[in-house]
Amino acid sequence: METLREGAARLGLQLSALHLASFQTLYEELCRCNEQLNLTAITGYQEVQTRHLLDSLTCLLAFPSGVAPNTIPDAVPVQRSGHALRCLDVGTGAGFPGLPLKILVPDLRLTLLESIGKKVNYLGHIARRLGLEVEIVQGRAEELAHDSAHRESYDIVVARAVAPLSTLVEYCLPFCRIGGRFIAPKGEDAVQEAEAAARATGILGGKLMAIKAVPVPDLLPEHSLVIIDKVAPTPDRYPRRTGIPAKRPLTGD
């Protein structure tokens, strides 16, 4: 895990031997279970360290810290927000970015949302294997976001490689409490996606806070965090029924 250790250090994160052991176990179980479950196309040792693990940890740059709240730093601040954050990972798949975040932030109140049963079963297995206390929910964002136990209840919502941002904001912003934050890792088209999603972001109660280029360009492909703050309630009608946000994103007039 030397590549991960070095990359994390450049984000201001010092990984302990226990952290590295957990990430090694996560890698080994991912590869072992992937043979039957087809969890990911990325299984090479170096690629998993960068494109799954380090990529996930970059989200910590955008976590609230209590320091300069209107800027996103190049390194994760030592000072955190002072309370256990409630975090939802939408469409988590094999557990990214949620599980790496939980390994680094043990008091994170993490919920993993996944619609595919075999992946849900894997998530339960790997969480037990790593000794992580997480909530795992099988379902669709379009339905769960209308459940009062989850709607506008989360400090942080993350989603990675799920959908274009114009669709993703409809999946994710309804879960954010007012004052909460949605974090979406994106590639080279981050700026264009944010522009295309501007109308949807406003309708759903969000405000673009920043598009932060992640400072590890030699380890990750062009990579940015699109960071959207929740500033107003999401109208009750959103998200629309299953499948509609993807088919008819809230773009244009």
Residue 194 identity: A
CB 228 within 8 Å of CB 208: yes
CB 93 within 8 Å of CB 33: no
Tell me: the pLDDT tens digits for 140-191?
Answer: 999 999 999 999 999 999 998 778 999 999 999 999 999 999 999 998 899 9
What does the DSSP assignment read for 100-154? HHHHH-TT-EEEEEE--HHHHHHHHHHHHHHT---EEEES-HHHHTTSTTTTT-E
CB 40 within 8 Å of CB 95: no
Work out the angle between the directed axes of helices 17-37 and 2-10 (0-180°, nearest 10): 120
Rounded Cα distance between 104 and 33, Å, is 23
Tell me: the pLDDT tens digits for 16-74?
Answer: 999 999 999 999 999 999 988 989 888 899 999 998 999 999 999 999 876 666 778 87
CB 19 within 8 Å of CB 104: yes
Rounded to two decimals, what is the model's pTM? 0.93
Instruction: List the beta bridge partners of residue 211.
Output: 226
Q: Which class is domain 2-247?
A: alpha beta
